[in-house]
């Protein structure tokens, strides 16, 4: 799933601190889905409130945004709108993966295989509309702005990096680059060790930045050609890609032939997909026009109220974290007062 551009990109290590005072357009669905699938108890089930409603997404957003704001990072969440119709095959495929995972989960449970059960439980995650609404409530209480994209969120996030309204776009998906994001940040989190699924080892996860211009000049191709490379590898709009063509071959073919139409050996397959429309989706996507981006004050009381009274969060934990944020923000305004006061 997703577009496998990892080995073709110029990826540079970075850290959260280098985004202080910068607006970063965050692929909201990407972030929330990650929380939903990863923040789970030992049994593999997501966290829930007294009503049995899932709260994993709220836990993730709560702590991560506290970190962002504490560091002076300005997150702007971009939510997906209606997916392009060309995406329906991919959406259908993902649904099927979830169905299969549900069966495998139940099998693992009945066999008493905990680790397997957890793995498959994660794959069953579904991001529902009410979770999106709840996430927006929490963002609003944090004073963090969010926008609704007309179609793909990544497209609008990429657009904002070009209008100068955002410094970078944050997502795990490389599609952002095809949409023209000037800078893409992956692993936009605190660095730390993560356990690999299955294996008994841990790896260090660190934020990384991919600059589109650097990547294009290192590959020696244009953005239009990168889109063609993407189509050869397989995008959400042609998930199967082309047989026996991976990132390396795709790049080679485009460099040798300039564009899809000139690659003789793929013409039969190429005519089975609407490649011109796929190009258009990446190169001229429908995006939101964003007049101004405003950050509000944090509504500390409102956050405590919502998370503890309505969503079963521990008062102690919520207050401890919010006090840490308050301290950081006060320190920041003191620093400003020293300059202007």
Catalog residues that contact DNA under the rule CB under 7 A.
34-35, 38-42, 45-49, 55, 59-60, 63-64, 66-67, 187, 189-190, 192-194, 202, 205, 311-314, 317-318, 320-321
Is 80 annotated as ligand-binding? yes
Of 59 and 161, nearer to DNA (C-beta) is 59
For the CB of residue 56, give the shortest distance to DNA in the complex, in Å: 8
* Pairwise CA distance, residues 152 & 237, whole Å: 12
Q: Is 61 exposed, middle or buried (0-12, 13-18, 19+ CB in 10 A)?
A: buried
DSSP string, 237-250: TSTT--TT--HHHH
Of 16 and 287, nearer to DNA (C-beta) is 16
Is 154 annotated as ligand-binding? yes
For the CB of residue 212, give the shortest distance to DNA in the complex, in Å: 24
Of 86 and 146, nearer to DNA (C-beta) is 146
CA atoms within 13 A on the CB side of 335: 7
Of 127 and 263, nearer to DNA (C-beta) is 127
Is 316 annotated as ligand-binding? no
Is 152 annotated as ligand-binding? yes
For the CB of residue 68, give the shortest distance to DNA in the complex, in Å: 9
Is 292 annotated as ligand-binding? no
For the CB of residue 19, give the shortest distance to DNA in the complex, in Å: 13
Of 205 and 273, nearer to DNA (C-beta) is 205
* Pairwise CA distance, residues 77 & 288, whole Å: 13
Of 31 and 160, nearer to DNA (C-beta) is 31
Is 17 annotated as ligand-binding? no
Question: Which residues have CB under 8 Å from 288's CB, separation 6+?
Answer: 78, 147, 148, 149, 150, 156, 159
Q: Would you give the end-to-end CA distance of the chain in angstroms?
A: 52
Is 43 annotated as ligand-binding? no
For the CB of residue 281, give the shortest distance to DNA in the complex, in Å: 29
* Pairwise CA distance, residues 313 & 55, whole Å: 9
Q: For residue 6, what are the CA distances in angstroms to 139, 175, 233, 296?
A: 31, 11, 12, 36
DSSP string, 143-154: T--EEE-SS-HH
For the CB of residue 117, give the shortest distance to DNA in the complex, in Å: 14
Nearest Cα neighbor of 174 from 165, 185, 190, 163 is 185
Q: For residue 339, what are the CA distances in angstroms to 22, 245, 332, 336?
A: 20, 57, 11, 5
Which residues are known binding-site members for Mg(2+)? 27, 80, 152, 154, 173, 175, 236
**Which residue ranges are tagged as binding site?**
27, 80, 152, 154, 173, 175, 236
């Amino acid at each position: 799933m997703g577009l496998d551009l990892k080995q073709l990109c110029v990826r540079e290590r970075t850290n959260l601190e280098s985004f202080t005072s910068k607006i970063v357009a965050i692929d909201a669905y990407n972030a929330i889905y990650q929380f939903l699938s990863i923040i789970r108890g030992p049994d593999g089930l997501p966290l829930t409130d007294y009503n049995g409603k899932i709260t994993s997404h709220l836990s993730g957003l709560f702590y991560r945004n506290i970190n962002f704001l504490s560091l002076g990072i300005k997150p702007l969440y971009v939510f997906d709108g209606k997916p392009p119709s060309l995406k329906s095959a991919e959406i259908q495929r993902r649904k099927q993966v979830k169905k299969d995972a549900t069966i495998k989960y139940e099998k693992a449970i009945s066999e008493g295989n905990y680790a397997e059960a957890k793995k498959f439980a994660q794959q069953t995650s579904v991001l529902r509309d009410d979770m999106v609404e709840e996430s927006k409530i929490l963002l609003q209480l944090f004073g963090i702005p969010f926008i609704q994209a007309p179609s793909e969120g990544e497209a609008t996030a990429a657009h904002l990096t070009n209008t100068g309204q955002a410094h970078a776009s944050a997502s795990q998906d490389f599609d952002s680059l095809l949409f023209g994001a000037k800078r893409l940040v992956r692993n936009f989190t605190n660095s730390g060790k993560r356990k690999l699924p299955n294996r008994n080892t841990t790896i260090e996860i660190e934020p990384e930045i991919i600059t589109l211009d650097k990547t294009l000049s290192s590959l020696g191709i244009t953005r239009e050609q990168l889109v063609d490379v993407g189509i050869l590898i397989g995008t959400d709009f042609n998930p199967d890609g082309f047989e026996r063509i991976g990132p390396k071959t795709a790049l080679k073919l485009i460099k040798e032939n300039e564009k899809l139409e000139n690659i003789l050996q793929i013409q039969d397959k190429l005519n089975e997909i609407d490649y011109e429309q796929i190009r258009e989706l990446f190169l001229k996507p429908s995006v939101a026009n964003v007049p101004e981006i405003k950050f509000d004050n944090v509504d500390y009381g409102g956050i405590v109220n919502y998370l503890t009274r309505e969503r079963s969060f521990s008062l102690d934990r919520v207050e401890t974290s919010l006090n840490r944020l308050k301290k950081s923000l006060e320190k920041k305004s003191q620093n400003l007062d020293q300059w202007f006061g």
